[in-house]
Amino acid sequence: MDNDKSIKILTSSKLRPFRYHPYKVKEDEDMANLVNSIKEEGVISPIIVRKVGKDLEKINEKYIYQNTCFENKLIKYTMLGKKKELFLRNCKIEATSLSSLDIKERIVFHNCIFDNVKISKCNFKNVVFYNCRFNNSIIVNSILANSYFINCKGIETVDFMENNMQGVSVIGSKVNLNELVEKQNRFEDILIQEEMLEVQHGNVAVLEEKKEDDQEMKEENKTENEITEENQIEENKIEESKQTEAQTEEQQSGATQNYSVIWPIHGTITSNFGKRESSDERVVPNHTGVDIGGNER
């Protein structure tokens, strides 16, 4: 039957048995009687089937937040937040994440496909994964205590990291709990090694950066020293020049203090050498007699 409740007649080629049906067919007397009854009278009660496979209903993000039960749905939006309970049946969770989901009571995934899904920081205590299939998925930093993985496929390909795995049961799968825990420990060791390598690389980078800083500092100090030496030389030259000027002034001052300029005296000055150029306007050019000098000013 479809969602529109209409009745359709299907060929037997389109039917397939439910693989994990709890009732098993026994080749006994009752089965022989049933076969004979169908041959004589046909199928009195019609077979009711449900659609599975590709025709899943696509839901929007709002629908995810408003509901706790999902059946025959294609989920491609992130599921997060707090819920009292969560039930998913015949759903495909594809290329998305279940992040920080906090389920208070019950959570069941029945016949669901997890394709490229990341489950992180979820409280999945007592969760039941029944007849689910995992492909390229990861469960990290989540609480899985007392949870069940029953008849799940691909669980050996799931990356488990930093989860609470206490009391987890794995039933009907290729791997057991010890193998999952060991796998989780290996991943954690790998993460620790990667972190250590990052720290080492970081330390190397810091050392290289420190060397570069030291080299730059040396070059800066060298430049500053050269500038300081040049400034010191210039200052020394200026100081020497000032000292020379001071010595010159001191010598000039001493000469002025120790010696007086001789000025010609007033009056008639004669010279035996005849006419000569006057050294002062007060001395006539045609003076005669002996040159006489005096200190009077």
Mean pLDDT of all residues in 33-61: 76
Q: What is the mean pLDDT of residues 214-232?
A: 75
What pLDDT band is residue 53 in, cutting at 50, 70 and 90?
Answer: low
| CA proximity to 52, closest of 2, 117, 109, 115 | 2
Query: Token pair of 297, please?
Result: 């000013």
The residues, ordered by sequence, that sit 6+ positions from 79 with a Cβ below 8 Å of its Cβ are 64, 96, 97, 98, 99, 101
Which of left, alpha, beta for 100 (phi over 0: left; psi -120 to 50: alpha)? left
Mean pLDDT across the chain: 76
CB 261 within 8 A of CB 234: no
Q: For the segment 273-284, what is each residue's pLDDT rounded down to a tens digit?
A: 555 555 555 555
CA–CA separation, 263 and 125 (whole Å): 126
The residues, ordered by sequence, that sit 6+ positions from 116 with a Cβ below 8 Å of its Cβ are: 94, 95, 135, 136, 137
What is the reported pLDDT for 296? 45
pLDDT tens for residues 117-145?
Answer: 999 999 999 999 999 999 999 999 999 99
**150 — pLDDT class (breaks 50, 70, 90):** very high
% of the chain beyond a pLDDT of 70: 69
- How would you label 287-297 residue by residue, b for 16+ Cβ within 10 Å and e otherwise? beeeeeeeeee
pLDDT (0 to 100) of residue 262: 53
Residue with tokens 């299939």: 133
Whether this prediction's pTM lies above 0.85 is answered by: no
> Which among 64, 114, 106, 70 has a CA at the least distance from the CA of 88?
70
Q: What is the pLDDT of residue 2?
A: 47
Distance CA 46, CA 115 (A): 35
Report DSSP state, residue 273.
T
Beta strands in 162-239 (DSSP E): 169-171
pLDDT value for 211:
73
Q: Looking at the predicted structure, is the pLDDT value of residue 232 above 50?
A: yes
CA distance 184 to 190: 10
Among 65-74, 114-123, 238-247, which stretch is predicted with the lowest mean pLDDT?
238-247
Decide: residue 103, CB within 10 A, 0-12 exposed, 13-18 middle, 19+ buried: buried
CA distances from 222 to 209, 215, 218, 227 (A): 20, 10, 6, 9
| Residue 119 to residue 134: CA distance in whole angstroms | 12
Residue 215's pLDDT band (cuts 50, 70, 90): confident
Q: Would you say 145 and 123 are in contact if contact means Cβ atoms under 8 Å apart?
A: no
pLDDT band at 205 (very low <50, low <70, confident <90, very high): low
pLDDT tens for residues 164-189?
Answer: 999 999 998 888 888 888 878 776 66
